[in-house]
Structure 1
């Protein structure tokens, strides 16, 4: 054969086949294979797998794997597999929720703590909100930013329309709602990025805002709560709540507006009324800085400007407990919606406190390690630092601990807490097992 002649070399048949073989995905596993895998899992991991996708949940539900594990863990007397129909889906759901809340309480009170922090804004910011695994940060510069609480990645940002300051904000699946200067602005999260802005002057000296679709309620310096309706895009109600400024707001499931005053009073009004329904004095010498409401126990938690946390029963309007949790201002308090055991509190001293909802006892005090040693990773030129959270013992002198920026706002998720601390960084505190 002439070595200079062209030769058409055919690739081996195996190489040709390899080019046409697609990658195997989890969807290629049949129900029988998934069943074999799932039988090795305990109840908590089965619950997590059932939330991954519809096909996995269908396998777990059809084969009654949750009921089997529930039966195994509770060791029902002489119950057989044929009796599993007694373990109804409602009972399993109750058990699932109880397990999740037990895990939440245990991890917050005793679990290991890792703190992930990264630069979120070019200047210091003071507010954060967390829902559906997403974190929204802002108040400080001219932009709000949306992050993933799990991966710490930046997902989106929302520019303010003009020079007016951002005062407060909230968000849901479809929109971001902000109190910007003296008006309400709404950013769409889905589809075209339209920005709606109400006319100016609607909320002169608005201090705080809470949003539950379709209404945004703004607490103002004149002691009035102004209700903005998203559909009519007008103020639908003006409710006189306090003689002094409204410093904090929260909603109940029954559409009650609960407001705290800079003078220390609490007022409750119904969205169907233009008048306050109930007023009582929560403190005699300090204003209320923050509030949150537990819908399951009808408990109202308040934090004051003098470092006190208190709990009120909204059915009897009586105080259940009051505790000095901070040497000065309590800026923020939150709990997971269905968690009736623990309350997370942040204040001027920069300590994250876990408090018992029933008694007000401080269960744990946590700070971020001050050491310069930490592990780091990069995500699109963003440096993410991982540090340890340190649980303080009873006799630790907090006033001697340095570099503790105040916790100006916090949000609570499942085994995690997000804090804004007046600097440029956002911090995600992740709680694991003991």
Structure 2
């Protein structure tokens, strides 16, 4: 029998809405690539690839608004602290909205700086600029929704999170087809469609908060007094954890940014081919993150409830599901990868380059799954320092590896990326005994 109500069925019931919701995230990017790749040339596709990398580097620098909130909310939920659950979403929403407005104000300087740092090839920078300009308008909505999504996941309300995610991505896909396919707006249309979808997600997230808190949601939020909302210990914990996770996220984003920059240095064709392949990597990573997110909520709740048995079982069961999913995704990429490449782009040179790199792409789920799951475990434990240190170590070793294998060209770029996942998993695994000892 399952311990403390944690069974394989319970784990899967909590994970499947996250899996579907996560699968929709890269699906939007796949639609972006397919629309641009089939209706435009390789340079426009490369421009969207470059713009997406810069945007991810900036926006996901604030990914702590999702990850930190999940762990803190899960522990408050496990401890039965309802006022702290309400206070957490209010603090996090205020932080997300403020940071998003700041990014929007600073975007006229961030966009050209990012394009210069990424050494945009001739003809690619204009498309990337159009895409980024539109996307930064959605910064306040995007960062606020990070907080709402993290809060819902921390409470285990994965079906509500799926509902909001589905609405957002459905709107995004529809607007992409309208703005790019019908109106011919190119990269600017892709960015505008996503921005409008992000504001719809923020509205849907507000509705989700009200549904979670029940009919008296207004009274519950008003009952959180200023003293509780501005509690120094809680605020300090949120800031410290978020700062650690921010450093962790920046280090990981630096890896992917360097990966893209290395491909850009080889020319538009390798850059666009890698972006096509990264759609498959993104789908596998986002879907397998469903089990990592479940681990976040389960581990956080177990620690909040001080249940070592629940902690150990949550780690084991989510690990089983993660490994099985990674095997399936690697096999699927090997078998279906060529068909996916042909669907995403009509450019013969890009297709050939992507086909040559396909085996490396297929290896990513198997090599990366351990680091993704361990991330979830330590996020649930609110062990920000461990996450920070592991990511910094992985970044340093990745850069050394990338320089060492640079003579291998495009293959070396992928080998270094695979090594970065292994480095991070080893660094996080090194900290696991201490976490287990603390749970006693």
Do both share a fold (TM > 0.5)? no
Name the TM-score, length of structure 2 as normaliser.
0.20
Name the TM-score, length of structure 1 as normaliser.
0.20
In proportion to residue count, which structure has more strand?
Answer: 1
Per chain length, whose mean CA-contact separation is higher, i.e. which structure has more relative contact order (CA < 8 Å, sep 6+)? 2
Report the structure number with the largest CA radius of gyration.
Answer: 1
